[in-house]
């Protein structure tokens, strides 16, 4: 067995910690799925997945995409261990809306696969994923889905009684696969009238171990090693925030910082230094009389910058600043009809300077009105949603580069959805969703003109692109009886003018030329998950099952679309007895041979994982000890949904065997 060297790494989430007030009574808040249920209904019509608590702790990786990878319907862009975004039902990039507490996340991760998201799993309390038609409530660009990252930096409910208290959380851990080290601290204090919050974290890791020798030209690194070259990283950040509470709601604010420095893995000597600061204000007034029942408002401002370094030399500098405002009103019932209406306003300004400035300076403004209504019936529930937007995208050129044209495009996207939930029999539910969505092209899709090394292409935008239009049908069946449950959903999503990046056959600057064009496309697939209670009693044994399949084609040519995850199945045995819990399972990804003619196929693989957790108390503190073992068999595997599998074959396999240990202390 390989020698294992352990180092500290924070595996926990700096979430809203369970706290102990001066009464010694533990304050707990029931998790509420806010993304998919704006009216607070327990059973959502649109497909929603939630990850929190111990489940999130045992799955947290260094990126949001890898943390969610393996959830039915969700894969990852995997640009090495430091940069990946979620792919939902085969759709990625700016077709997936990443939110923070319901507000827009402003970064450059949708622009390029090597750009990391500023949502670090270490600071997360809960992740909610909304798939399919219901996502239009949060943006016409969210045709693939919404990922809402939730923390408690602006507390929304009192955590203490009138006498006040202090609580917090400390996270420490160990890791062998990347010789990482890290720590996190969260503190909260206050009374039933106010709560103050502060958190800080630091995470560092070396190059990631893999079960194959790889070449590396980075100075100071071995020329050949079982490591992904240039995959080391360092992330740190923190936040301060607080809220005041009154009888009918709250008002709060927060300031958060995130900094990261990491290797891009595609190029042995290129690293990225990223920094982001977000200011947020949020408030809600509830239990009002009259037509308006409650009002919730969110205002955020983000300043983001990252610099790409080529060795010690400064390369391209990307900047993105944005402001987002969301106002949501719940109205009084109109007969049995219950619903919310809202206003959303986003504005952003982007710039790129340097050799890889393949997109111009740009400015995007978006205003939207939305409505979501639900009608209860004797057999279930009906829902209706609509969203109308006004979008203006401007190319401002570049004062240092003359190849970018100054231009402007305006769009008026409209999106609509119908849904139904049918309680067929006790424990059985059938759901159906039908949606028509329109997405305005992004600035780089319209105006790109330059070399993009992450895709190994010279990219050219198309300023004549029209709205991307899609029609989505989703059908689901769910059953639950005690601890036993099963759910399956099928979907088909047809695009009239899908925006794709395709090779033109020409060459510019020694790179193949790729053009943004529109074509017809179809995505279809299945998702299933379930749980079987094998043993009931003082000791419980459960069998968790999951699987998914996505097929995506260009319906004009019959060719498969690029970077689609293969069929996947998985099973996990879960044992729980008293303070102990243990998990062991496997995930199987089949070979992906359903690929474009110019795309490489990928082989199938099976990854085994296990974990062990133990809860205890030490005075007023709750202790959670845990261990996680990833890729137990040290299997060599490559991700079919990663562009690196095509542009840099063999250079960035999935991580090899890793053992991680941790301690989370809540007080």
Task: Give the rounded percent of residues in the chain with a pLDDT score beyond 90.
Answer: 72
Averaged pLDDT of the chain: 89
Cα–Cα–Cα angle for 219, 224, 226, rounded to 5 degrees: 115
pLDDT of residue 145: 86
Token pair 């209904």 is found at 41
Provide the token pair at 283.
């408030």
Asked if residue 174 has pLDDT above 80, the reply is: yes
> Per the domain annotation, does 1 fall within a domain?
no
Residue 630 in contact with residue 596, Cβ under 8 Å? no
Provide the token pair at 313.
């030399």
Q: Please list the residues that pair with 320 across neighbouring strands.
A: 304, 350
> Per the domain annotation, does 2 fall within a domain?
no
pLDDT of residue 408: 97
Asked if residue 8 has pLDDT above 50, the reply is: no
Number of independent structural domains in the chain? 1
For the chain, what is the largest distance between any 2 Cα atoms, rounded to a whole number of angstroms? 72
Token pair 């891009």 is found at 264
> Per the domain annotation, does 475 fall within a domain?
yes
Position 62 confidence tier, pLDDT thresholds 50, 70, 90 = confident
What dihedral angle (degrees, nearest 10) is formed by the CA atoms of 135, 136, 139, 141? 80
Q: Who contacts 116 (Cβ-Cβ below 8 Å, separation ≥6)?
A: 63, 82, 83, 84, 107, 109, 260, 262, 272, 274
Token pair 């424990």 is found at 427
Residue (of 177, 209, 202) closest to 628 by Cα position: 177
SS3 445: helix
SS3 content of the chain, % helix, strand, coil (to 5): 5, 60, 35
Position 102 confidence tier, pLDDT thresholds 50, 70, 90 = confident
Position 457 confidence tier, pLDDT thresholds 50, 70, 90 = confident
Range in 573-577, 584-588, 637-641, 648-652 with the lowest mean pLDDT:
648-652
CB atoms within 10 A of CB 364: 17
Determine the distance from the C-alpha atom of residue 92 to the mean position of all C-alpha atoms in its chain, rounded to a whole number: 10
> Per the domain annotation, does 393 fall within a domain?
yes
Query: What's the CATH number where 103 sits?
Result: 2.40.170.20
Distance from C-alpha of 138 to C-alpha of 34, rounded to nearest angstrom:
12
Q: What φ, ψ does residue 362 adopt, rounded to 5°?
A: -150, 160
Residue (of 425, 621, 587, 423) closest to 70 by Cα position: 587
> Per the domain annotation, does 40 fall within a domain?
yes
Distance from C-alpha of 265 to C-alpha of 261, rounded to nearest angstrom:
13
Q: What is the pTM of this model?
A: 0.91
Determine the structural domain holding residue 96 and report its residue range. Answer: 7-666
Cα–Cα–Cα angle for 624, 630, 634, rounded to 5 degrees: 155
Provide the token pair at 205.
């890791």
Residue (of 65, 216, 222, 90) closest to 650 by Cα position: 216
pLDDT of residue 108: 79
Range in 74-88, 92-106, 187-201, 284-298 with the lowest mean pLDDT:
92-106
């Amino acid at each position: 067995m390989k020698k294992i060297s352990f180092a500290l790494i924070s595996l926990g989430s700096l979430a809203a910690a369970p706290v102990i007030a001066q009464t010694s009574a533990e304050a707990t808040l029931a998790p509420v799925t806010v993304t998919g249920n704006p009216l607070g209904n327990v059973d959502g019509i649109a497909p929603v997945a939630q990850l929190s608590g111990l489940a999130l702790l045992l799955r947290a990786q260094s990126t949001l995409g890898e943390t969610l990878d393996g959830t039915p319907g969700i894969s990852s862009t995997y640009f090495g261990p430091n940069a990946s975004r979620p792919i939902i039902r085969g759709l990625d990039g700016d077709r997936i809306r990443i939110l923070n507490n319901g507000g827009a996340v402003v970064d450059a991760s949708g622009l390029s696969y090597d750009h990391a998201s500023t949502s670090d799993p270490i600071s997360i309390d809960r992740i909610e994923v909304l798939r399919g038609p219901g996502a239009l409530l949060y943006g016409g660009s969210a045709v693939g889905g919404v990922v809402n990252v939730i923390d408690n930096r602006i507390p929304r409910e009192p955590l203490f009684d009138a006498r006040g208290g202090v609580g917090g959380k400390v996270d420490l851990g160990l890791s062998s696969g990347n010789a990482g080290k890290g720590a996190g601290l969260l503190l909260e204090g206050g009374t039933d009238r106010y709560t103050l919050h502060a958190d800080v974290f630091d995470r560092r890791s070396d190059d990631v171990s893999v079960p194959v020798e790889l070449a590396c030209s980075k100075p100071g690194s071995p020329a050949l090693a079982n490591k992904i070259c240039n995959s080391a990283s360092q992330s740190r950040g923190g936040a301060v925030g607080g809220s005041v509470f009154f009888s009918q709601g709250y008002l709060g604010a927060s300031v958060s910082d995130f900094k990261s420095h990491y290797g891009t893995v595609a190029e042995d000597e290129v690293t990225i230094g990223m920094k982001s600061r977000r200011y947020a204000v949020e408030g809600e007034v509830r239990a009002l009389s009259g037509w308006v029942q409650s009002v919730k408002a969110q205002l955020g401002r983000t300043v983001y910058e990252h610099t790409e370094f080529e060795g010690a030399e400064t390369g391209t500098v990307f900047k993105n600043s944005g402001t987002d405002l969301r106002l949501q009103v719940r109205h009084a019932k109109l007969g049995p009809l219950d619903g919310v209406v809202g206003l959303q306003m986003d504005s952003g300004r982007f710039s790129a300077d340097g050799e890889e400035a393949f997109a111009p300076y740009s400015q995007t403004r978006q205003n939207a009105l939305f409505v979501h209504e639900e009608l209860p019936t004797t057999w279930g529930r009906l829902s209706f949603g609509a969203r109308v937007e006004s979008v203006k995208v401007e190319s401002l050129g570049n004062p240092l580069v003359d190849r970018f044209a100054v231009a402007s495009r305006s769009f008026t996207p409209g999106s609509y959805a119908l849904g139904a939930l049918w309680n067929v029999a006790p424990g059985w539910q059938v759901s159906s969703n039908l949606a028509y969505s329109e997405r305005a092209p992004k600035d780089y899709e319209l105006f790109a003109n330059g070399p993009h090394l992450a895709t190994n292409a010279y990219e050219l935008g198309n300023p004549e692109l029209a709205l991307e239009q899609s029609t989505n049908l989703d059908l689901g069946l769910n059953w639950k009886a005690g601890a036993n449950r099963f759910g399956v959903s099928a979907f088909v999503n047809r695009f009239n003018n899908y925006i794709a990046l395709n090779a033109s056959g020409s060459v510019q600057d020694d790179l193949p030329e790729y053009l943004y064009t529109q074509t017809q496309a179809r995505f279809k697939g299945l998702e299933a998950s379930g749980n079987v209670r094998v043993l009931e009693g003082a000791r419980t044994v459960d069998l968790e099952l999951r699987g998914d399949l996505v097929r995506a084609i260009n319906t004009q040519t019959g060719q498969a679309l690029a970077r689609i995850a293969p069929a996947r199945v998985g099973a996990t045995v879960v044992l729980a007895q008293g303070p102990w819990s243990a998990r062991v399972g496997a995930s199987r990804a089949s070979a992906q041979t359903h690929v474009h003619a110019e795309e490489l196929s990928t082989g199938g693989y099976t990854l085994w994982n296990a974990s062990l957790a133990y809860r205890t108390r030490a005075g007023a503190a709750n202790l959670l000890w845990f261990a996680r073992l990833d890729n137990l068999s040290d299997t060599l595997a490559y991700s079919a949904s990663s562009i690196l599998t095509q542009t840099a074959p063999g250079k960035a396999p999935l991580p090899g065997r890793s053992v991680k240990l941790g301690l989370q202390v809540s007080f």
